Amino acid sequence: MSTKNNAWEYADSIENASHINLRKQYDLYIDGKWVKPSSNKYFSSSNPHDEKHIADVSEANEEDVDLAVQAAEKAYELWSKISAAERGKYIFRIARLMQEQARELAVIESLDSGKPIREARDIDIPLACNHFFYYAGWADKLEYAFPNQHKKSLGVAGQIIPWNFPLLMAAWKIAPALATGNTVVLKPAETTSLTALKLAEIIEASGIPPGVVNIVTGFGDTGAAIVAHPKVSKIAFTGSTAVGKLIQKTIAGSNKRATLELGGKSANIIFGDAPIDQAVEGIINGIFFNQGHVCCAGSRLFVEESVAEKVIRKLKHRMQSLQVGNPLDKNTDVGAINSKEQLKIINRYIDIGIKEGSEFFQTDCAIPTEGYYCRPTLFINVAQSSILAQEEIFGPVLTIQTFRTVDEVIQKANNSPYGLAAGVWTDKGSKIFNLTSKLKAGVVWANTYNKFDPSSPFGGYKESGFGREGGLHGLGAYLK
């Protein structure tokens, strides 16, 4: 079925690398078959560590999207009628197959996206499997989840995902849609299509009826064609606020439902009474996890003035120990920036910060001379009005501000067009409760950061989007 290409050679630094099985060229997965794109156009997916080509991926146009939607519409007739327990069995099967191939999926995710193998192996892939397990369990319990509400599925769900958590975002989207009896047309991001295509192989192997899940790869136009298709009843989008706004314009006046998970500029707040060493670990995890390509990254740090000097000193010291380099090296803490374009965006923000004149700090670790890399970066004493404190950078760049009172930090933390997440570090439960009720953020973590679980809902306020994914809320988004 599949032809091995040279991708596994990159993976020689990890065990069992030869188990990686990638095709040289991927067609579109439509109606349970691998179909050539009607334009016959393919594009290259490459490794951000060394810019080497990994595999060719299809560019789907409107015609291909239409085929996929038709297949999903036809499959919906069957899928929405089979017993809920049967639906659950297929979803469990997908989860188990993913688990069996977890090692391979982790390597491919790391190769294609630039994220450290340790994160792909220990976080992304297990969480993606868990999402399928979690929603498989709900499939035959919807009556219990929504008692006396007679909920019904929506139809064909068009799902569009970004490049920062490729397989995990596919799982967040596909699992609840299937559990509730909907069918799916999913488009991964252009730089990270490979694990979604491996997932298509797993879905094929699960024996789920053809057309229930269709995977179409391509660029923004492919996504736009899904959004505009009249037979798509629900749009689930994760990506930038700019594209989220475009989507809202396209679907205005239609009957389409939508959930939009957009950008963020989340506050991580450290009080003087917090356990400082743990808080420093939380700051590091908050901003350098996945190179800062995290929608809920704790990218604005607020430190109580009395401990600011100590926290910043310890933070700089800890940052110097971060290993930046080949994502496939098990010792790597910070991997490659996902694309040349994203690296340009990050460097542009760093230049702005330097020109604005706030104190600038970068670690002096060695970084590879080729590929897309950025050293962990701090800007200290950043003004509230600075572009750096306002706009999402989506990279390993942290801005630091100080505060004296609780009211002041709440006001500053909420002074953002976004409202996705926040972190609070303190020894006092009362402070935690006070802040969780006043911070305008979809998720507030207390004395931890970037913790995810399939059972807890995730989503934003304001320009961070609307709707929730995960947990019961995530099921509700696929039912009427």
> 229's torsion region: left (phi>0), alpha (psi -120 to 50) or beta?
beta
Number of shown-chain residues binding ligand NAP (CB under 6 A)? 29
Min dist CB 223 to Mg ion, Å, is 17
HSE-CB at 286 with a 13 A cutoff on CA atoms is 33
Residue type, 95: A
Q: Which is nearer to ligand NAP, 279 or 294 (CB)?
A: 294
Which does residue 112 bind out of Mg ion, ligand NAP, none, counting CB within 5 to 8 angstroms by kind?
Mg ion
**Pairing label, strands 377-380, 359-362:** antiparallel
**112 contributes a contact to Mg ion by CB under 5 A:** yes
191 binds Mg ion (CB under 5 A): yes
Task: Dig out the tokens for 25 from the structure.
Answer: 């060229």
- Could you say which of 104, 119, 129, 295 is catalytic? 295
CB atoms within 10 A of CB 325: 20
Q: Which of 217, 134, 126 is nearest to 167 (CA)?
A: 126
Token digits of residue 49: 């560590």
190 binds, among ligand NAP, Mg ion, none (CB under 5 to 8 A by kind): ligand NAP
CB 192, min distance to Mg ion, A: 5
Q: List Cβ neighbours of 141 (8 Å cut-off, separation of 6 or more).
A: none
User: Is 341 among the catalytic positions?
Assistant: no
* By the rule CB under 6 A, 160 interacts with ligand NAP: yes
With CB under 5 to 8 Å by kind, the binding choice for 45 among Mg ion, ligand NAP, none is Mg ion
The one catalytic residue in 59, 119, 190, 261 is 261
User: How far is residue 13's CA from residue 9's CA, in Å, rounded to a whole number?
Assistant: 9
Site mask, Mg ion, residues 31-70, x = CB under 5 A? --------------x-------------------------
Q: Does 110 bind Mg ion (CB under 5 A)?
A: no
Tell me the C-alpha distance between 116 and 109, whole Å: 9
Does residue 374 carry a catalytic annotation? no
Task: Pick one of Mg ion, ligand NAP, none as the site partner of residue 261 (Cβ within 5 to 8 A by kind).
Answer: ligand NAP
Report the residue number, 181 or 474, with the smaller CB distance to ligand NAP. Answer: 474
Closer to ligand NAP by Cβ: residue 11 or 251: 251
Structure tokens at 238: 């994760």
Both tokens assigned to 305: 């003035």
Task: Report what 214 binds from ligand NAP, Mg ion, none; CB cut-off 5-8 Å by kind.
Answer: none
In the complex with Mg ion, the residue whose CB is nearer, 45 or 290, is 45
Going by C-alpha positions, the residue among 16, 191, 176 that lies closest to residue 107 is: 16
Q: What's the count of helices (H) and strands (E) in the chain, helices before strands?
A: 18, 20
Three-state SS at 149: coil
Binding map of ligand NAP across residues 368-397, x = CB under 6 A, - = no contact:
------------------------x-x---
CA–CA distance, 438 with 148 (Å, rounded to integer)? 34
108 closest CA partner among 29, 191, 8:
8
Contact positions vs ligand NAP (CB under 6 A): 160-164, 187, 189-190, 219-220, 223-224, 227, 238-240, 243, 246-247, 261-264, 295, 392, 394, 420, 460, 465
Which residues form the interface with Mg ion (CB under 5 A)?
A: 45, 112, 191
Give me the active site residues, please. 261, 295
